[in-house]
Amino acid sequence: MKLLVIGSGGREHALAWKLARSPRVSRVYVAPGNAGTAREDGLANVALGTIPELVEFARKEAVAFTVVGSEAPLAEGVADAFLAAGLRIFGPTQAAARLESSKEFAKSFMQRHGIPTAAYGAFTDAGQAHDYLERHGAPIVIKADGLAAGKGVVVAANLGQAHAAVDGMLLEKKLGAAGSRVVIEQHLEGEEASFIVLADGRHALALASSQDHKRLLDGDRGPNTGGMGAYSPAPVVTPGIHAKVMREVILPAIAGMEQDGTPYVGFLYAGLMIGKGGSIRVLEFNCRLGDPETQPIMLRLKSDLVPLLEHALGGELDQAQAEWDTRVALGVVLAAHGYPDTPRKGDPIQGLPAPAEDYHVFHAGTALNGTDTVTSGGRVLCVAALGHNVRSAQRRAYEIAGRIRFDGMQYRRDIGHRAVAAGRR
Ligand code: AMP
Ligand code: GLY
């Protein structure tokens, strides 16, 4: 069978790579893909952009089903267009994707369905937002309601920063329409984890847990990024926490979406804050897999992903099971010069290693320039490796990363530090 993956990042490379390993798959098209998906066995890039082009391609090529990597096409209604054309697609409809595309929608949904999350207020009026800040004090968190490509959240340490963030979004319109409404929420303490499931509208199948590293620099310092590295599993997600997340977050979310008339089919990502006493709160929902969490997760997935997605598309996820490599997988993101503000493009990449059983180099912001592979985006590569514990996965990933070179390459040296510390406790 032929499949189609929509997107061009590291997450999509990992997803397409995993799908292509299925004995039932002859080809995975990636639209538009990157240099890594162009070179990978079993994958082929297709230069398609618009939703009608994607629908037309899937129909003409008799694609068995399509998987959507990123949030933007989902928020634009790509799933609705495929379904209307009678084509199978794994990803939520535009209405269901509001769990990610509107923070206000997600917060009121959680409140309505009793899903634990931080207390909040939602505002379009700057005066009311400022009053709310004065009443609640700092630290406090200000979030643009709409999709802002990772730039929409300000964790304000003091009221000065908080007022400035509100003015930047509501008055100066720094984030455009995405920031014309803000959600202001209580600041939560704890350790973050990513909890991602497959959902079929009624049932959910959990993927392995993972943890991202959002800050640019070692020790979780510097500006926020899309994610500088991730590993799986996350020790903070103990079996007890896992069961609690399924019971208090995932199952009520799936049931709530069904009750509200917008059943959720697709990957559902809950970004969690886990408190010291084992409390859980949802920081955000995403209507897709995480990036870079997907890269280590796919490296650990031993089951064929195709039947899992078929079960999801058939509403039979209660009959599916996923088998995981017991090893730890850890991915280190190699970012471009100037990332995250002004990533430089066009730097030639050298030393890309051939893949092996215990690692894979997933591409994100890369392009082909003749026979050269060059940088073409902020997060360039994710080197993902397996090891018997987090330290050995770390060692292996950094050993492979050390063979790769491009001008201005930057990466964190401490991916996995929380799991290493947890191992010592
Ligand atoms: P979000 O896109 O909503 O996940 O927010 C991005 C990042 O901001 C999260 O990964 C957290 O590190 C931080 N964050 C978001 N909401 C809160 C909160 N209520 N309390 C503390 N940190 C938060
Ligand atoms: N790594 C966080 C995200 O994909 O949103």
User: Ligand 1: does its nearest atom lie under 6 Å from the Cβ of 271?
Assistant: yes
Between the CA of 78 and the centroid of ligand 1 the distance, in Å, is 27
Between the CA of 283 and the centroid of ligand 1 the distance, in Å, is 6
pLDDT by residue for the chain (425 residues), tens only, comes to 999 999 999 999 999 999 999 999 999 999 999 999 999 999 999 999 899 999 999 999 999 999 999 999 999 999 999 999 999 999 999 999 999 999 999 999 999 999 999 999 999 999 999 999 999 999 999 999 999 877 889 999 999 999 999 999 999 999 989 999 999 999 999 999 999 999 999 999 999 999 999 999 999 999 889 999 999 999 999 999 999 999 999 999 999 999 999 999 999 999 999 999 999 999 999 999 999 999 999 999 999 999 999 999 999 999 999 999 999 999 999 999 999 999 999 999 999 999 999 999 999 999 999 999 999 999 999 999 999 999 999 999 999 999 999 999 999 999 999 888 887 66
Between the CA of 153 and the centroid of ligand 1 the distance, in Å, is 7
Atom 3 in ligand 2: residue holding the nearest Cα: 290
Q: What is the 3-state secondary structure (H, E, C) of 266-326?
A: EEEEEEEEECCCCCEEEEEEECCCCCCCHHHHHHHECCCHHHHHHHHHCCCHHHCCCCECC
With the most atoms of ligand 2 within 8 angstroms of its CB, the residue from 212, 268, 332 to mutate is: 212
User: Ligand 1: does its nearest atom lie under 6 Å from the Cβ of 191?
Assistant: no
Are 169 and 179 spatial neighbours (Cβ–Cβ below 8 Å)?
A: yes
**C-alpha span between 205 and 197 (Å, rounded):** 5
